[in-house]
Amino acid sequence: MTETTHTQTTPPGPADRTRSPEFRLAADALRGLRQDLFHQAFAYRPLPRMAVDGPLTRHLSGRLRAYAGWTPHAVVAAGGVVAMAAGVTGADAGAPALLCGLLALAPVLLTLVRPVGAFWLSFAATAASSVLGSNWGSWPWLPGSLVSHLLVLTVVAIRTRPRTAAWMWLLTALYGFWAETAFGYAHYDTDTAPLLVVSALVLLVVTVRHIRRQAEQEVTAQQTVTEHERSRRTLLEERTTIARELHDVVAHHMSVVAIQAEAAPYRVENPPPELEKAFATIRENAVAALTELRRVLGVVRAEDYEAPDAPQPTLADLDGLLANVREAGLTVEKAVTGAVRELPQGVELSAYRIVQEALSNTLRHAPGASARVEIGYVLGGLGVRIVNGPPPAPSLLKPSPGAGHGITGMRERVSMLNGEMTAVPTAEGGYEVTVFLPVPAATAAIEGEA
């Protein structure tokens, strides 16, 4: 027996043709209608409690503040009671009036847990009320049904999105026009047009509120991202500034190494060839390191950067810095403990910049306050403490024009030297910055001999 497989290709037809823009627009609209009002229409979505951190609720006591979170639920329930009263008074006395009242109340209360399902229940309740209610007056929306449906549209629009509100309004218009056309001949008046006008205004206000809230959320998110990027850029700028300042320090030491390596063979009479070759290698490596260092500095240098003419400051220049801030109006005193010695230039430069930034922050954030600078030379490194007192009139302080990233620069300098830093407010209302910069004993001895 021979089995043959036959493959048949579908000839090109309407399914292969490119859909028109109108068809795609209609398909997208129907897909949105299904997603908003049909897909999981009766899903359980309880109305969350209101936040109680607003300008009014935050002043309430503990129990009242807890009850205030249920304010939206109470408002919806009160609206349901109003709709129930309108349904009872708008129908014939007796059982029909009670049923019309309950049919007006149920959809409103359902919006608290199943908002989209409440919209469909409102349609069913409207149709049932039109049968149970009286034949005179407005129709197809009896008073209770009109109030109930308007409340349902408002609550569901608030709890969903503007597209859902548009679909609900359109379906309400279709139902009203269909009811008037099919069954309106036996009634004196219809109220579909007034309901559509009032509901359109209400839904427009709700939609504007949605759009405004969404815009505020987007602006807040963008501000958060912008602040993060600004902090990151400031951090990179601080690191770049530190790299520029340390370039002169490292370049000086490498130049000294290169010069000493070149001059060393001439200090020894008849040096062996191996020693001359070793010094030549040291000089070549030092010159190559200087070249690479200048290339790296060229990468991190800004276009408007100008190399400073004066040498980088050290702790020996600290008195001049204190004199400048005293002329600016800051009362500052200095205390030095331990045996003063020369430290690596990078350590002294970082310590100087940290003191400079801390005193600048005092002038900027606590004008009129006094400050104290303490320098401690210890066995394992250098300790720096800058503390300022509280400003004389804190209530009169204006916002500082600074960028607020001075602490970031201090931490970067300390982290570069594997040090430790704390920056905290004091109990008296001032601020304290404490820094420890480690200096290995061998490094300190070499610097002292140099």
Quickly state the pLDDT bin for 135 (edges 50, 70, 90): low
Quickly state the pLDDT bin for 395 (edges 50, 70, 90): low
pLDDT of residue 252: 64
Q: How far is C-alpha 307 from the geometric centre of its chain's CA atoms?
A: 38
In a shared domain, residues 282 and 320: no
Quote the number of domains for the chain.
3
Q: How far is C-alpha 107 from the geometric centre of its chain's CA atoms?
A: 39
Between CA 319 and CA 313 the distance in angstroms is 11
Does residue 158 lie within any of the structural domains?
yes
Which of 7-16, 295-304, 389-398, 399-408 shows the lowest per-residue confidence on average (mean pLDDT)?
A: 7-16
In a shared domain, residues 323 and 250: no
**For 238-259, what is each residue's pLDDT tens digit?**
777 777 666 666 766 677 777 7
Residue where one domain finishes, among candidates 241, 265, 300: 300
Does residue 202 lie within any of the structural domains?
no
Q: Which residues span the domain enclosing 140? A: 29-190
Does residue 206 lie within any of the structural domains?
no
In a shared domain, residues 265 and 174: no
pLDDT of residue 124: 94
Does residue 139 lie within any of the structural domains?
yes
Is pLDDT larger for residue 174 or for residue 394?
Answer: 174
**Pair type for strands 431-438 and 420-425:** antiparallel
Residue where one domain finishes, among candidates 144, 166, 190: 190
Helix, strand, coil abundance in the chain, percent, nearest 5: 65, 10, 30
Does residue 4 lie within any of the structural domains?
no
Between CA 243 and CA 234 the distance in angstroms is 14
Which of 118-127, 201-210, 262-271 shows the lowest per-residue confidence on average (mean pLDDT)?
A: 262-271
Q: What is the pTM of this model?
A: 0.55
The helix or strand, by DSSP H or E, that contains position 425, with its residue range, turns out to be strand 420-425
Ordered alpha helix ranges (H), 90-142: 95-110, 115-132
Instruction: Residue 87: name the closest of 78, 97, 79 by CA.
Output: 97
In a shared domain, residues 292 and 376: no
Structural contact between residues 234 and 403, judged by C-beta atoms closer than 8 angstroms: yes
Residue where one domain finishes, among candidates 173, 190, 207: 190
pLDDT of residue 301: 56
In a shared domain, residues 285 and 432: no
In a shared domain, residues 296 and 321: no
pLDDT of residue 355: 93
In a shared domain, residues 337 and 444: yes
**Residue 431, helix vs strand vs coil:** strand
Instruction: Residue 371: name the closest of 325, 402, 405 by CA.
Output: 325
In a shared domain, residues 113 and 38: yes
Per cent of the chain over pLDDT 90 is 34
Does residue 281 lie within any of the structural domains?
yes
Largest distance between two CA atoms of the chain: 130
Mean pLDDT across the stretch 206-227?
A: 88
Which of 117-126, 251-260, 280-289, 363-372 shows the lowest per-residue confidence on average (mean pLDDT)?
A: 251-260
Cross-strand partners of 371: 332, 388
In a shared domain, residues 293 and 321: no
In a shared domain, residues 279 and 328: no
In a shared domain, residues 153 and 285: no
Which of 227-231, 305-309, 371-375, 379-383 shows the lowest per-residue confidence on average (mean pLDDT)?
A: 305-309
Mean pLDDT across the stretch 371-377?
A: 95
Is pLDDT larger for residue 241 or for residue 430?
Answer: 430
Q: Which of 122-126, 180-184, 412-416 has the highest mean pLDDT?
A: 122-126
pLDDT of residue 290: 73
Between CA 81 and CA 151 the distance in angstroms is 11
In a shared domain, residues 255 and 329: no
Give the dihedral of Cα atoms 52, 56, 60, 63; nearest 10 deg: -40
Between CA 370 and CA 377 the distance in angstroms is 24
Does residue 366 lie within any of the structural domains?
yes
- Cα angle: 304, vertex 306, 308; to 5 degrees: 155
**For 49-96, what is each residue's pLDDT tens digit?**
988 877 777 777 778 888 888 999 999 999 999 999 998 887 777 788
Lookup: tokens for 144:
């209770």
